[in-house]
Amino acid sequence: MELLVNKNFPFVQNRRTAYLISGSLVTLSLLLFLFIGLNYGVDFIGGTSMEVKFQQPVELDKIRHLISTKFGADRIQNFGSSNDILIHVQEQHDNVATEVLAMLKKNFEGNDVEMRSVSQVGPKIGDELKISAVWATIWGLIFIVVYLALRFHWKWGLAAVVALAHDVIITLGLFVALQLEFSLAAVAAFLTIVGYSVNDTIVVFDRIRENTRLIKRGGTFEEVVNRSVNETLSRTVMTSVLTLLSVAVLLALGGEVIRTFAWALLVGIIVGTYSSIYVASPILIEWKAGDDLKAKTK
């Protein structure tokens, strides 16, 4: 089904503006990452994570002050509703949860509180998980380059990886800006974004390869790319919209952990759709122009 008919949007002609937008967002995201940093979850930094539920809403500032007097400045945040609180401290001994619960009961008399869940991760395990997450991403990108090099050309594979790096960096920037918790669920979301984005890019690349025959009829590679992007636009829009609707349901109805996963997917899908049109495909044009220039100077 064609959602958009007779479309001929000048995507390629506007690529310089897209470069400026992408460059600005990537630069801003990298600066945020370098100077502020990610809000790592217990999976990566180690410590004890506790979910407690109060009968009535409580002020987070009071809990923060109470916990900081014994355990230092650790992370306290709402976990879904204002009655559910997620407490993370870097202490890891067996009595942490018992001590925290006793403190809360003593200082919030008349407001029943229960410990819903407790999880502990050692710092060594957290470091190992960080390394594993990085290697999972690196190996994923390597396999993508190899696959695209075999199916298309190695330069096309690199163009796709540049687009993927663009998507991941900008989504990371959102995590830093909003201080969303970066956990194993977030890693899963980023790998999902990589898979979604590269699939979208492959569809466009496949159409570009099919349409290269038009060059023999007097067309230019730039025209071929623009036509190919327009021809796959309906599929791109429909897939993105349907996926975003599913993600919106996760945002509205999912818990706090699922919500973080959904935020990453939401931004990643939008940025990934944009990059398949304005990053990956235009890079092919720049490479082709460079190859043509080298051929003329020989």
pLDDT tens, position by position, 37-46: 888 877 777 7
3-state class (DSSP) for residue 7: coil
Instruction: Report the distance separating Cα 47 and Cα 67, nearest Å.
Output: 14
Task: Find the largest Cα–Cα distance for the chain.
Answer: 85
Task: Report the distance separating Cα 89 and Cα 43, nearest Å.
Answer: 12
Whole-angstrom distance, CA of residue 244 vs CA of residue 259:
13
List the domains of the chain with CATH numbers.
Answer: 12-40+125-297 (1.20.1640.10), 47-121 (3.30.70.3400)
Q: What's residue 36's pLDDT?
A: 92
Question: Residue 12: which pLDDT band, with cuts at 50, 70 and 90?
Answer: confident
For the record, the structure tokens of 282 come out as 């235009």
pLDDT band at 88 (very low <50, low <70, confident <90, very high): confident
Report whether pLDDT(2) > 60: no
**At residue 61, what is the residue type?**
D
- Look at residue 110 and tell me whether its pLDDT is greater than 70: yes
| Distance of alpha carbon 142 from alpha carbon 34, whole angstroms | 25
Q: Is the dihedral of CA 119, 122, 123, 127 positive or negative?
A: negative
Question: CA 250 to CA 238: how far, in whole Å?
Answer: 19
| 147, two tokens | 């696959």
Residue 176 burial (CB count, 10 A): 21
Residue type, 49: S
* Cβ-proximal residues to 92 (8 Å cutoff; 6+ apart), any chain: 46, 47, 48, 120, 122
Task: Collect all residues with Cβ–Cβ distance below 8 Å to 62 and sequence separation of at least 6.
Answer: 107
Q: Kindly report the pTM of this predicted structure.
A: 0.79
pLDDT band, residue 256 (cuts 50/70/90) = low
Nearest residue to 270 via CA among 182, 183, 174 = 174
Q: What is the pLDDT of residues 161-176, one digit of tens each?
A: 899 999 999 999 999 9
Whole-number pLDDT of residue 255: 65
Q: Are strands 181-182 and 39-40 parallel, antiparallel or unpaired?
A: parallel
Residues 228-253, mean pLDDT to the nearest whole number: 87
Residue 5 pLDDT > 70: no
pLDDT at 83 over 60: yes
CA 134 to CA 202: how far, in whole Å? 24
> Which of the four pLDDT bands, split at 50, 70 and 90, describes residue 20?
very high
Of the pLDDT bands very low, low, confident and very high (cuts 50, 70, 90), residue 73 is: low
Q: Kindly state the average pLDDT of the residues 168-196.
A: 87
Contact 264, 167 (CB under 8 A): no
Give the up-direction half-sphere exposure of residue 61: CA atoms within 13 A in the CB hemisphere.
Answer: 0
Q: What is the pLDDT of residue 180?
A: 84
Say what the pLDDT of residue 6 is. Answer: 56
The Cβ of residue 215 has, within 10 Å, a number of other Cβ atoms equal to 12
pLDDT at res. 1: 52
Instruction: Summarize the confidence of residues 31-54 as an average pLDDT.
Output: 85
- At residue 89, the 3 state secondary structure works out as strand
Q: How would you label 248-286 residue by residue, b for 16+ Cβ within 10 Å and e otherwise?
A: eebeeeeebbebbbbbbbbbbbbbbbbbbbbbbbbbbbe
Asked if 291 and 220 count as a contact pair (C-beta separation under 8 A), the reply is no
